Amino acid sequence: MDTSFFDTVKTGDASLPERVAGQISQLIIDRHLTCEDKLPNEFELAEQLHVGRGTVREAVKLLVARNVLVIRRGKGTFIARHPGEVEDPLGFAYYADKIRLAQDLLEVRTQLEPWVASLAAQRASAEDMDHLREAALLVEQDIFSGKDHLGQDTKFHICIAQCTQNLVVPKLIPIITYSVELFGSLNGNVLLSETVSAHRAITSAICTRDAKAAEQAMAQHLEHNRAELALIVKELGGPTFS
Amino acid sequence: MDTSFFDTVKTGDASLPERVAGQISQLIIDRHLTCEDKLPNEFELAEQLHVGRGTVREAVKLLVARNVLVIRRGKGTFIARHPGEVEDPLGFAYYADKIRLAQDLLEVRTQLEPWVASLAAQRASAEDMDHLREAALLVEQDIFSGKDHLGQDTKFHICIAQCTQNLVVPKLIPIITYSVELFGSLNGNVLLSETVSAHRAITSAICTRDAKAAEQAMAQHLEHNRAELALIVKELGGPTFS
């Protein structure tokens, strides 16, 4: 076992389990371990890192909490499918002013998502297009059967992001489509018919490689959301920044 | 003590400490607790949540690992300053193809940051402008004294984001300025003089409220980075997507 990665022991304020967690992270990075790979067992790690097995166990718990590692019962500890990715990584759930947050998220989406739709139209593969049509259908199914469609709605927007072939965009979109859910909770889903027609227009534009139309359809979709949000804010009597 | 937040106990696959961590999170959200606030003690939480103190302790550890809570020695457990925010929340460190990642980050920055600079010029307060000039100076000081300026460089870009008065943008920028550091590690800091002149142009445009000039100066700065990155990729013999 190569031990060079153990040379970079962080010193400073971090606790011992925290430092050992850092070393294990570095091991995952250096060896390009992926979700197929099992982490060396506690005993082996303890020996290599010159720490007790209790410390290794604490370090592993930290990395599980951060979604770097996953424990599969009876099978051992594995690298997570998307190591280090966490739900709500920017802590939006902890913001008090949800209206302001919804407005600011929408402002960022308005800058980003029409461009994303345009890139998607230019770069989507045939397979991407199939996924996109499927994702659009699932949103409609939820809407027409009276179910909560927001989970599928977010997936639809992530699907568009995946069509861009950019590694970063699909990671960013879930962060800002946090607003989809937030917005849904604010407006009580009054936009259902607009959602169906807008999603159809966006899907059709991307699948015919019409970048300009995709960009416009997305911009229009978000503008509709913005107007609706402004109305809600007005009713609530709060300030509006739009 | 109001116990309504305990009604929404998540069931399902999550472990007991994981579910209790969810309840404590909900408590923080419902009560608008901030970094000034201390979490109720273990004993109180255990009683309220009808679980053992060991479980509460495990749940608290999970929330510390996720930067929702911080333990101040001898003082107790407090809410973190930016609860839920983690470093590298998208797990970029775990990507194998750093070149592709650097290119894709730069593509997103090119779409986002000129717009951010333009908003900054329109909305920065006098205080924001002071901070921005200071941030620009600190980058120059590091460069001229031969130090690693990348930490200050990232802060400069975050400072611009703060001028927008948008809650979300300053949270998003550190994610994509991950590329600043990545880029620095790839190009060995050959862009130093360009960095100084570009940062000066951006700062000056924002501080004179010239939105168009701010947008253009930022776009030019990023285009310079893109060209440099393309050159590095060519030298390395890898594929380029630009």
Q: Which residues of A touch B61 (CB under 8 A)?
A: 61-62, 65
**Predicted TM-score (pTM) above 0.80:** no
Tell me which chain B residues have a C-beta less than 8 angstroms from the C-beta of A67.
91
Compare CB distances from A115 to B93, B100, B111 and report the shortest one's residue.
Answer: B111
Per-residue model confidence (pLDDT) at position B3: 34
User: Residues A162-184: what's their mean pLDDT?
Assistant: 79
For the segment B112-170, what is each residue's pLDDT rounded down to a tens digit?
999 999 999 999 999 999 999 999 999 999 999 988 888 898 899 999 999 999 988 98
Query: What ipTM describes this predicted complex?
Result: 0.75
- Smallest Cβ–Cβ distance between B88 and the set A84, A93, A166 belongs to A84
Confidence (pLDDT) at A85: 67
Give yes or no for residue B15 having a pLDDT over 70: yes
Q: Which residue of A has its CA nearest to B170?
A: A90
Q: What residues of A are in contact with residue B108 (Cβ under 8 Å)?
A: 166, 168-169, 172
Closest CA to B29 of B85, B79, B75, B77: B79
Give B95 or B191, the one with higher predicted confidence.
Answer: B95
Answer for the pair B77, B71: CB distance below 8 angstroms, yes or no. Answer: yes
